């Protein structure tokens, strides 16, 4: 079991292989289909998204009183965010579901990985703290959030151009 | 708050937070026979999550779902408009208590479609689907509360199948649909809910009733065949590979018509579904 704490270094990412089990800790970003295209636009316009994206994790989830849990990462707006976010420094895209081979290949070239997390909201509740909204509060639970994660369990599903779904 | 409101609210919380005993047993059987280490870890984690949710009476999944209600009414019982109103109040109260994810969209028809009307911050802003009524031989009024998540809705399918006067043709089609949808879902192992009817409405209603009546420890020949064949795909838990892509199939076949076509509704219920709890209101 590999422990990863944000910000995650290039060296730590380069060691990860498909099928590795990891525990993710530290401050991580949360966003899904409504907010990620807006974040990409902010990055393209050179605007500050409210935190340093280098070495970051982005968890594809809403953040609500019901808790957190992965939504499907292969939704158009989410999967298309992965390459531009990786170029901006994001190292781990955390969600669920199979991605297109082209996305997995591009993540490998950018030394970023895709990890899947079981949708275990009740367990993640005790591992989540310090929740705050970073951008677009009008989106409610779909705003860009920053949370503190304590050993979120995940499996590396895409790394070095390889996919667990092959 | 009257007794009906309280009972419905409690049923909704339990639907969103608890596994039935036969589902727990189905998971334990799947863990015992799983040969893939990653898949076994996922199955064990899902079961741990169910235990934590039950203990806290909190959500199994952050997509707490859209309430779908099946109301069973005995021959000597009557249901008033007042009771239907109390049921809706109970749903609202239950959503606040769970708490449900505040994902109701506000605004007129156009704004609700493109989501430009904003989100209702109240968990109770998630309206329940139209209530399905059904007669029962039992002398009861029983409400079944089901919570439907978004992932299975994306991968569900209701469509015609030309049966060619051979049940195997219909089963083959169900297996093909299910194999593809389970692979896409991500939140496996699934329970397949299947309805067969004469119209899209009837097939979807049968799919709902299949979840009300289905049991993991009692499976028909057709249900067993569908489960076995979809599991041969080795999609596995979370789509990571393994022996259990599907825990069971719940299938309900309604009346059919003299025709070459059957309407089939398939919902690949996710690893937590059916999220269901039944309560008597009489």
Q: What is the DSSP string of B64-89?
A: --EEEEEEEEETT----HHHHHHHHH
Q: How far is B2 from B24, CA to CA, in rounded Å?
A: 33
Asked if the bond preceding A29 is cis, omega within 30° of 0, the reply is no
pLDDT digits (tens, 9 = 90+) for B137-167: 999 999 999 999 999 999 999 999 999 999 9
Chain B CB contacts of A64 under 8 Å are 62, 101-103
Contact of A79 with A105, CB cutoff 8 Å: no
Per-residue pLDDT at B141: 98
pLDDT digits (tens, 9 = 90+) for B96-107: 999 999 999 999
Q: Does any CB of chain B come closer than 8 Å to the CB of residue A71?
A: yes
Domains of chain A: 2-159 (3.20.130.10)
β-bridge partners, B250: B193
Closest CA to B41 of A153, A5, A99: A153
> Count of domains in chain B?
1
Per-residue pLDDT at A83: 98
CB-side neighbour CA atoms (13 Å) of B146: 25
Contact of B208 with B195, CB cutoff 8 Å: yes
Cβ of B45 and A118 within 8 Å?
A: yes
Chain B CB contacts of A62 under 8 Å are 62, 101, 103
Distances, alpha carbon A76 to alpha carbons A99, A123, B153, in Å = 10, 28, 17
Chain B CB contacts of A68 under 8 Å are 62
pLDDT averaged over every residue in chain B: 97
Q: Does any CB of chain B come closer than 8 Å to the CB of residue A42?
A: no
Give the one of A121, A141, A153 whose C-beta lies nearest to B102's C-beta. A141
- pLDDT interval class at A166 (50, 70, 90): confident
Cβ of A65 and B121 within 8 Å?
A: no
Q: Which chain A residue has its CA at the smallest distance from B46's CA?
A: A120
Name the region of B118 (left: φ>0; alpha: ψ -120 to 50; beta: rest). left
The mean pLDDT value for B269-273 works out to: 98
pLDDT digits (tens, 9 = 90+) for A45-101: 999 999 999 999 999 999 999 999 999 999 999 999 999 999 999 999 999 999 999
Q: Does any CB of chain A come closer than 8 Å to the CB of residue B107?
A: no
Q: Does any CB of chain A come closer than 8 Å to the CB of residue B169?
A: no
Cβ of B98 and A66 within 8 Å?
A: yes
Per-residue pLDDT at B1: 81
More confident residue, B108 or A166: B108
Per-residue pLDDT at B121: 93
- Report residue B163 as tokens: 């049966």
Distances, alpha carbon B140 to alpha carbons B63, B79, B137, in Å = 32, 11, 8
Contact of B252 with B184, CB cutoff 8 Å: no
Q: How far is B212 from B206, CA to CA, in rounded Å?
A: 10
Give the one of B38, B49, B58 whose C-beta lies nearest to A19's C-beta. B38
Q: How far is B141 from A83, CA to CA, in rounded Å?
A: 54
Give the one of A66, A123, A126 whose C-beta lies nearest to B64's C-beta. A66
Per-residue pLDDT at B166: 97
Closest CA to B74 of B135, B4, B143: B135
- Beta strands B132-136 and B66-74, pairing class: parallel
- Report residue A76 as tokens: 């158009």
- pLDDT interval class at B246 (50, 70, 90): very high
Per-residue pLDDT at B112: 96
More confident residue, B146 or B1: B146
Q: What is the DSSP string of A46-64?
A: T---SS--TT-EEE----B
Place of tokens 């692979």: B183
- Cβ contacts of B166-170, under 8 Å, gap ≥ 24: B167/B222, B170/B196, B170/B262, B170/B264
Q: Residue B136: count other Cβ atoms within 10 Å of its Cβ.
A: 14
Nearest C-alpha of chain B: how many angstroms from A125? 10
pLDDT digits (tens, 9 = 90+) for B73-104: 999 999 999 999 999 999 999 999 999 999 99
Give the one of B49, B63, B185 whose C-beta lies nearest to A122's C-beta. B49
pLDDT digits (tens, 9 = 90+) for A111-163: 999 999 999 999 999 999 999 999 999 999 999 999 999 999 999 999 999 99
- To 10 degrees, the CA torsion angle through B161, B163, B167, B173? -30
Name residues whose C-beta falls within 8 Å of residue B114's C-beta, 6 or more positions apart in sequence: none
Q: Is the pLDDT of residue B194 over 90?
A: yes
- Report residue B192 as tokens: 């397949």
Contact of A115 with A94, CB cutoff 8 Å: yes
pLDDT digits (tens, 9 = 90+) for B197-229: 999 999 999 999 999 999 999 999 999 999 999
More confident residue, A166 or B72: B72
- In terms of residue numbers, what domain contains B74? 3-280
CA A24 to chain centre: 11
Cβ of A123 and B49 within 8 Å?
A: yes
Cβ of B121 and A140 within 8 Å?
A: yes
Q: Is the pLDDT of residue B178 over 90?
A: yes
Nearest C-alpha of chain A: how many angstroms from B31? 15
Q: How far is B249 from A166, CA to CA, in rounded Å?
A: 27
- Report residue A73 as tokens: 């990462």
Distances, alpha carbon B125 to alpha carbons A23, A67, B1, B99, in Å = 35, 17, 19, 12
């Amino acid at each position: 079991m590999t422990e990863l704490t944000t910000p995650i270094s290039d060296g730590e990412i380069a060691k990860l292989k498909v099928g590795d089990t990891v525990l993710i800790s530290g401050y991580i970003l949360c966003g899904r289909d409504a907010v990620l295209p807006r974040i990409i636009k902010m990055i393209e316009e050179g605007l500050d998204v409210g935190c340093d994206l280098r070495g970051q994790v982005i968890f594809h989830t809403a953040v609500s009183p019901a808790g957190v849990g992965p939504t499907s990462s292969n939704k158009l707006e989410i999967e298309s965010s992965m390459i531009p976010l990786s170029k901006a420094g994001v190292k781990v895209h955390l969600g669920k579901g199979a991605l297109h081979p082209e996305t997995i290949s591009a993540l490998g070239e950018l030394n970023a990985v895709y990890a899947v997390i079981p949708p275990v909201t009740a367990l993640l509740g005790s591992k989540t703290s310090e929740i705050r909204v970073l951008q677009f509060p009008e989106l409610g639970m779909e705003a860009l959030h920053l949370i503190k994660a304590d050993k979120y369990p995940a499996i590396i599903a895409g790394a070095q151009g390889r996919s667990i779904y092959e | 708050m009257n007794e009906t409101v309280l009972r419905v609210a409690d049923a909704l919380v339990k639907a969103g937070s608890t596994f039935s005993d036969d589902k727990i047993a189905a998971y334990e059987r799947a863990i015992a026979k799983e040969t893939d280490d990653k898949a076994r870890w996922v199955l064990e984690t899902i079961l741990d999550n169910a235990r934590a949710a039950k203990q806290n009476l909190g959500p199994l999944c952050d997509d707490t779902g859209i309430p779908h209600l099946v109301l069973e009414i005995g021959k000597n019982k009557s249901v008033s408009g007042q009771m239907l109103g109390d049921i809706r109040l109970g749903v609202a109260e239950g959503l606040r208590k769970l708490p449900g994810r505040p994902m109701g969209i506000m605004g007129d028809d156009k704004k609700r479609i493109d989501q430009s009307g904003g989100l209702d911050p109240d968990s109770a802003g998630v309206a329940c689907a139209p209530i399905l009524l059904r007669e029962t031989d039992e002398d009861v009024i029983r409400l079944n509360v089901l919570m439907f998540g978004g992932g299975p809705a994306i991968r569900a399918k209701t469509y015609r199948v030309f049966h060619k006067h051979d049940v195997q043709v219909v089963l083959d089609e169900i297996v093909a649909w299910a194999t593809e949808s389970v692979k896409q879902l991500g939140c496996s192992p699934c329970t397949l809910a299947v309805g067969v009817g004469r119209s899209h409405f009837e097939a979807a209603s049968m799919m709902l009733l299949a979840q009300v009546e289905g049991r993991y420890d009692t499976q028909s020949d057709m249900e067993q065949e569908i489960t076995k064949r979809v599991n041969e795909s080795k999609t596995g838990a979370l789509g990571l590979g393994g022996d259990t892509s599907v825990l069971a199939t719940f299938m309900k076949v309604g009346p059919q018509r003299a025709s070459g076509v059957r309407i089939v509704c398939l919902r690949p219920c996710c690893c937590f579904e059916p999220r269901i709890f039944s309560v008597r209101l009489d």
